[in-house]
């Protein structure tokens, strides 16, 4: 089998999408976004084909490593190999190539805790586990409404967080988003919610205003505004305050994953 590893620059986005969907169809948790949702995901994260790697069997795209770029940092937004091409070290070859493409940048990714083979691959190419992240879901208990904030200061909201948001939840990713989001809140706390998906990337309350019910009201207002179950992805497991808050509100833990980082090379 002769497989060429090269950049995804110039590869049609639809071809990348098809490989992503096929490759993740038998994943621990199958990832099957529709075309529009996949494009929004990659846009928000900062996908750059020139820094991404593909495994090519002739014209067929047998595997991908999707890389996103933000200044001196890079993020892996998906690595997969089609079923019939597995066990040929394509994952390692693609990762090595993607690492060569990003140069001296720090490289960040997340991997499900239940995927030891992927964890081993990433550790083999220099990644280390930095923190454990949780996915939570929340369904509204009672309707609530809080004022929508126009021209909200996202950096201010982020400053109220006790733990740094993950890549796709941080302010640069929100500013890249094409899908519309709303910010609900007061002068002392706010929640950012994407009504179309129920995604809540940021929910934070100023420290001095905590334990007064504002966080619960924000969560309920976000669920009311979205009118669907909320998804709080990549909540830092080490932040016991937010975990305790979500438990008390009746949110449900779903899966855990590791954030892993490969340090930039000087």
- Does residue 266 have a pLDDT over 60? no
Contacts of 133 (CB under 8 A, 6+ apart): 110, 166, 233, 234, 235, 236, 237, 256, 257, 258, 259
What pLDDT, on the 0 to 100 scale, is given for residue 31? 80
What pLDDT, on the 0 to 100 scale, is given for residue 63? 98
Per-residue model confidence as pLDDT tens digits over 40-75: 999 999 999 999 999 999 999 999 999 999 999 999
In the structure encoding, which two tokens stand for residue 96, read together? 């090595």
What pLDDT, on the 0 to 100 scale, is given for residue 160? 97
Taking CA 46 as the corner, what is the angle to CA 40 and CA 52, rounded to the nearest 5 degrees?
Answer: 105
In angstroms, the Cα distances linking 66 to 36, 79, 99, 170 are 17, 6, 11, 19
Average pLDDT, the chain: 95
Per-residue model confidence as pLDDT tens digits over 77-120: 999 999 999 988 999 999 999 999 999 999 999 999 999 999 99
Per-residue model confidence as pLDDT tens digits over 207-218: 999 999 999 999
């Amino acid at each position: 089998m002769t497989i060429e590893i090269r950049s995804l620059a110039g590869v049609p986005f639809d071809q990348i999408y098809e490989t992503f969907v096929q490759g993740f169809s038998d994943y621990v948790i199958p990832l099957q976004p529709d075309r529009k949702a996949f494009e929004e995901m990659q846009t928000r994260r900062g996908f750059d084909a020139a820094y991404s790697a593909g495994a090519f069997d002739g014209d067929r795209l047998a595997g991908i490593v999707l890389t996103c770029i933000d200044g001196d940092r890079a993020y892996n937004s998906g690595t997969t190999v089609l079923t019939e091409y597995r066990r040929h070290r394509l994952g390692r070859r693609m990762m090595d190539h993607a690492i060569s493409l990003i140069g001296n940048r720090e490289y960040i990714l997340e991997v499900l805790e239940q995927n030891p083979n992927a964890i081993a691959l990433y550790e083999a190419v220099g990644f280390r586990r930095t923190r454990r992240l949780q996915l939570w879901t929340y369904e509204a208990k009672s309707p609530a409404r809080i004022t929508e904030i126009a021209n909200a200061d996202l950096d201010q909201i982020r400053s109220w967080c006790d733990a740094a948001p993950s890549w796709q939840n941080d302010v640069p990713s929100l500013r890249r988003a094409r899908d519309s989001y709303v910010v609900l809140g007061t002068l002392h706390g706010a929640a950012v919610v994407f009504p179309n998906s129920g995604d809540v990337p940021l929910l934070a309350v100023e420290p001095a205003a905590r334990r007064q019910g504002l966080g619960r009201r924000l969560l309920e207002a976000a669920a009311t505004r979205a009118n669907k179950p909320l998804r709080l992805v990549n909540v830092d497991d080490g932040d016991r305050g937010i975990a305790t808050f979500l438990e008390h509100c009746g949110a449900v833990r779903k899966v855990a994953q590791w954030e892993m980082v490969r340090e930039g090379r000087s």
